[in-house]
Amino acid sequence: MSTQDPKSPAGAPGTGTGPAGGAAVKPTPPSRDPAAEAAALAMFEADEAGLSKQDEPAGRAEQNMAKANASERAAATPKPADAAPPTDAKPLSITGGKPLMAELAKPLAKPPVVAFNKVTKTYGSGSSAFTAIKDVTFTIPDYPGRGEFISILGPSGCGKSTVIRMIAGLLPQFPQTSGTVLIDGKPVHGPGPDRGMVFQDYTSFDNRSVLENVAFGLECRGLTRALDGVTRKQTVAQLTTLTPHQFEKGMTVVIDLVDDKSFNGTHKVAATPSPTVFSVLMEGKPDATSRGGVVRVPKLSGSERTELAKHWIEKVGLSVKKDSDKYPHQLSGGMRQRVAIARTLILEPRIILMDEPFGALDPPTRSRMQDNLVALWREQSPTIFFITHSIEEAVFLGDHILIFSNSPGTVMKEIRVPPPDRPSIELQRDPKFIDIVMGIRETIDRLESSNRAGD
């Protein structure tokens, strides 16, 4: 098994952030152990299964309600200029100052989604102690109805994986040696269903088919969708969801929290006229129109899980017909990574942690996956942490970029960039986009040389 990740294929150059001249001796990253990671994943999912028995993670319905109240904002994914931490004096702009970020959303008076405060991690002790990250501090605010997309850039061995595995609550990166790591204002205690991880190495269950791998996490998990509007005429109620509902006729759904309480209750889906509209029968109630609310499928049946898994297999660019029954050893590396991505995203975690997930993909597949990820981010509004060695990828995907220094890693710079307004391939040819990438490359070079001169 390879101990190094395939980095930056053609079209996705690296950061060039390594030590200059080969003079600095960098600690070699430890050999990764895919079997151990698969075991960690299994533990992670076992833990999820236990926790998710209570239908939905706490705060999810609330998050969906916030989504409902901020539907337009969710679609536009604007940047809250007033909430940006002190970063670049001169913000970078792809649109040349056009009002891409005109619509402002203030963070709720809620704790940040993730907050690191002076976090240090030292592996080992005594003479073999090695400090991987030092005083890492950053805050990811909780904006109503949308999560940030945080790209993490930095040289190999600077502690990027350490940081996101700490957020995931995975040993031995978790717990930190000092400092605080808070998720929604609370300390991390270990893995949880609110966080989903796509590992640097592909992790799947080798004894499960693609379909079984993708459906695995759903076994104890229901679905929740925020409602955009509800109307009832005679006995038929028509409900519109903010994101595709993926319901089937005959499914049992629980409607809750609609302003007009007469809509609330358990019903069977009577029809699904469009991806975001479904209807149910409600006998003996007056005609009415109302807003707000959520709809839940408390627990998916085997066939429902299969249907949803098929949907995700297609969504990551695999073929239901050709690939569903294959086992991981029958797939290419890129295909296995897509299975790993589908099995994490299908669970719709609030925080998605992705460790160089596209590093092994060929450039066209990589671009397609980038576009898919942006679409998903817009659709479901999770907070995404995305490690990459490609500045292009970091700029295309991210709206908040954390640049880490050489080991011991610390946050050298935070940069905010606009979200993508075009497909990856198109945007990456835009001279303004290329300018931003060059600007970041120069910033990294400058910061690294001043680091070397100053330390």
Question: What would the DSSP string read from start to end of 296-338?
Answer: EESS--HHHHHHHHHHHHHHTT--HHHHTT--GGGS-HHHHHH
What minimum distance in Å lies between the beta carbon of 169 and ligand ATP?
A: 15
**Contact mark string toward ligand ATP, 38..77, x via CB under 6 A:** ----------------------------------------
Radius of gyration of the chain (CA): 22
Binding partner of residue 190 among ligand ATP, Mg ion, none, CB cut-off 5 to 8 Å per kind: none
Instruction: Give the closest residue to 215 by CA, choosing from 317, 308, 322.
Output: 308
Report 249-288 residues binding Mg ion (CB under 5 A).
Answer: none
Position among 3, 24, 30, 451 found at the interface with ligand ATP (CB under 6 A): 30
Distance of CA 378 to the CA centre of its chain: 11
Binding partner of residue 30 among ligand ATP, Mg ion, none, CB cut-off 5 to 8 Å per kind: ligand ATP
Nearer to ligand ATP, 63 or 161 (CB): 161
**Contact mark string toward ligand ATP, 94..133, x via CB under 6 A:** -----------------------------x------x-x-
> Angle CA(214)–CA(358)–CA(6) in degrees, nearest 5?
120
Nearer to ligand ATP, 18 or 317 (CB): 18
Strand partners, 224: 296
| Secondary structure class of 437 (helix, strand, coil) | helix
Nearer to Mg ion, 2 or 95 (CB): 2
Q: Looking at 45-53, 153-161, 365-373, 388-396, which segment touches Mg ion (CB under 5 A)?
A: 153-161
What minimum distance in Å lies between the beta carbon of 42 and ligand ATP?
A: 19
Binding partner of residue 157 among ligand ATP, Mg ion, none, CB cut-off 5 to 8 Å per kind: ligand ATP
Q: Looking at 43-51, 156-164, 217-225, 419-427, which segment touches Mg ion (CB under 5 A)?
A: 156-164
Q: Using CB positions, name the residue nearest to Mg ion.
A: 161
What minimum distance in Å lies between the beta carbon of 69 and ligand ATP?
A: 38
Query: Which 3-state string (H, E, C) describes 409-430?
Result: ECEEEEEECCCCCCCHHHHCCC
Q: What whole-number distance in Å separates Cα of residue 414 and Cα of residue 432?
A: 20
Q: Which strands form 411-416's sheet, in the order they lie side by side?
A: 195-198, 351-355, 383-387, 149-153, 400-404, 411-416
Report 140-169 residues binding ligand ATP (CB under 6 A).
Answer: 154, 156-162
Q: Does 359 bind ligand ATP (CB under 6 A)?
A: no
What minimum distance in Å lies between the beta carbon of 159 and Mg ion?
A: 8
343 and 204 Cβ atoms separated by less than 8 Å: yes
Position among 8, 52, 64, 161 found at the interface with Mg ion (CB under 5 A): 161
Nearer to ligand ATP, 216 or 404 (CB): 404
One-letter amino acid for residue 70 of the chain: A
One-letter amino acid for residue 253 of the chain: V
Q: Does 442 bind ligand ATP (CB under 6 A)?
A: no
323-331, long-range: CB < 8 A, 24+ apart: 323/210, 324/209, 324/210, 324/211, 325/209, 325/210, 325/211, 326/209, 326/210, 327/206, 327/207, 327/208, 327/209, 327/210, 328/202, 328/204, 328/205, 328/206, 328/210, 328/213, 329/206, 331/210
Q: What whole-number distance in Å separates Cα of residue 191 and Cα of residue 201?
A: 18
Report 172-201 residues binding ligand ATP (CB under 6 A).
Answer: 172
For binding to Mg ion (CB under 5 A), which residues are involved?
A: 161
For binding to ligand ATP (CB under 6 A), which residues are involved?
A: 27, 29-30, 123, 130, 132, 154, 156-162, 172, 407
